[in-house]
Amino acid sequence: MQRKRVILFVSVMMVILSILIVRLAQIQLFETKHFTNRDINLISQSVAQRSKEIAIDAERGNLLDRDGKQLTVAYKTVLILFPFLKDIEWDVSSVAEILKVDNSQLRQKVQAIKDPIVYGEREPFILSNEQMEEINQLEIPGVFAVRKSYPIYERPAEQLLGIANRDFLLTKRYPNKHLSNITRLGATGMEKSFDELLSGEGETKLIYHVDGKGRPLFGSNVKYVHPANPFYPLNIRTTLDFEWQQLMEMLVDKNEVTKGGMVLIDIEDNSVVAMVSRPKVNPVNPFAHGEEGTNNFMVQNQVLGSIFKTVIAAAAIDYGLDAKSRMFDCNRSINGEIDENYQYGMLNFKDSFAKSCNYTFATVGKELMSIEPLVVDSYANKLGLSIKVGWQGDFYHLKGFQQLADEEQGQVFSDPRNRKDTNLIALTSIGQLDVRSTPLAVANMMATIARGGEKQMVRVASQLEYKNGTKVKSFQSKKIVGKNIKPYTAISLQKLLLEVVNHDLGTGRQLQNLPYQVAGKSGTGETGKKVNGQQLENKWFAGYFPYDNPRYALVTVRLDAKSTDPSPLSLFADIVKEIHRLDHST
């Protein structure tokens, strides 16, 4: 009996010992860098227990405006203090004198800390270059004046530039990079699109080793640790103009656009100069349920309404359905019945476009579809409304790279069977039913027409740069593959768009007396949403200017607006006036 007990005890101990050995091997040999489903790096954690450190550069690349201004990361010259200062004699009076603070204030701060800190209360104490040099010349262990990186949280074009946040799944996304657990990854916008290019090779930090009680293990020696490659991380030069972007955001808010925004394209190089999306990002919890601030509505599909009549007009011109002598009864609705709300009388095609007569375009749309079932799809493609228009292609070492990874592709008919129903064709022809496109694509359509019909990809970034500012590679302007509208068609559309503004009946006549002559198209898209029984609409104006020498394509849009809300024409007018002022300022 005694022998059996001994055998049982030994067996149990062997099992326990085996489990411990397996666990030890798991920790020490097999899963040292990816322990548990939380992907814990045990090596880095053990080093962290034996060291005190402070990161001075998170080594994530910056997004810059077109003149090189930093948009996502700012560098501030600050004072770093290490906790071991409380245990050594150091020249506190000289440091205090340089900072112009009391000695006691500085001593008290050091006595209270357990980890390295940036000197200052809620905000860091910013040093001048002279102060930085004077402090570092003192060569006091544990006192360092350095340039430290800080993410810019209140940034312009916040939805376009996007958000980068901490992610513990770093090693899964980038298994070959040595990144710390505070490294930020792109979650939205350009931060997400360019994440692989913006991610650096590791942090720059100040570090020293401690014993079990937190005292310096090797004296007061602090090491400066930084990635081996001084050219990284890479920066992205965007096409945004910081000053213009700030001004556009101010104008959008002044016009009380609560949902919607604007897109401004430089027609010459087809680049976004400014883009605003509202509502703003919630700074406390941007990804909270129900928050729309992280959505960039300028690259998401919206109901177009009469903006889409530009597509029908292009096809009508090519198919000869726009004869000057042809008259349309614009007292009627799209189903041919008398329209009790709108009585425009008999209008020809040009006046119908200026006044945005639904009956004309429903009629012409049905005629076009009877001639060629795919004609509307074809012209939507030619004008870039049913495709992604953001820059894409092979770049650097990336295949099929997209500058706007969040951009949505437009559509005309969601169900092919709808092409056979004349009532549904009529709705489609005035931009309702399934028709969707992005404000960016609408702005690009205006740039395409102003340019004479050639489609180009829209750039939001112009080049990739090394950390020191040297260019690595440019994002060259690229045409969009596929058929374009004919130059004659583009010229005819230009004249129609001008009539929208210049005609006494034009829906854009409010823009007649601006310092730049504008051509464009209005639109009201029924969203199908209601608030308190009231139909919500998307209210648009899209155009380009100056008419005789086109330089800018602009879209302004109010999304989910009530019928009583202002049109976007006032915002469009304000932007044109300010751009004229900026163009002529000395």
Which tokens go with 297? 């509505």
Please name which of 551, 556, 555 lies closest in space to residue 584, comparing C-alpha atoms.
Answer: 551
* Alpha-helix residue ranges (DSSP H) falling in 283-429: 309-318, 349-355, 358-371, 375-382, 422-429
Task: From residue 69, give the alpha-carbon distance in Å to each of 123, 271, 351, 459, 502.
Answer: 22, 17, 47, 18, 40
Backbone angles phi, psi at 270, to 5 degrees: 50, 50
Give how far the C-alpha of residue 568 lies from the chain's centroid of Cα atoms, to the nearest Å: 22
Which backbone phi and psi does 360 adopt, to 5 degrees? Answer: -60, -45
Tell me how far apart the alpha carbons of residues 333 and 339 are, in angstroms, rounded to a whole number.
5
Phi and psi at residue 293, in whole multiples of 5°?
A: -60, -30
Tokens 């374009």, residue? Answer: 484
Give CA–CA dist 280/282, Å, rounded: 6
d(CA 409, CA 420): 23
CA nearest 155: which of 90, 218, 63?
63
193 noted as active-site residue:
no
The span from the CA of 409 to the CA of 448, in Å, is 17
Q: Which residue has the tokens 């800080």?
A: 150
Please tell me which residue in 193, 199, 277, 306 is annotated as part of the active site: 306
DSSP 30: I
Q: How many helices (H) and strands (E) does the chain have?
A: 18, 24
Burial 295-309 (b: 16+ CB within 10 A, else e): bbbbbbbbbbbbbbb
- Dmax over Cα atoms in the chain, in whole Å? 116
φ/ψ of 487, rounded to 5, equals -55, -40
Strands 552-561 and 534-545: antiparallel
Report phi then psi at 213, rounded to 5.
-100, 10
Q: How far apart are CA 95 and CA 84, in angstroms?
A: 16
Strand partners, 237: 64, 463
Beta bridge pairs of residue 349: none
**β partners of residue 464:** 236, 473
Cα torsion angle, 26, 27, 33, 35, sign: positive
- Whether 518 contacts 369, CB under 8 Å: no
Q: Annotated catalytic sites, by residue?
A: 306
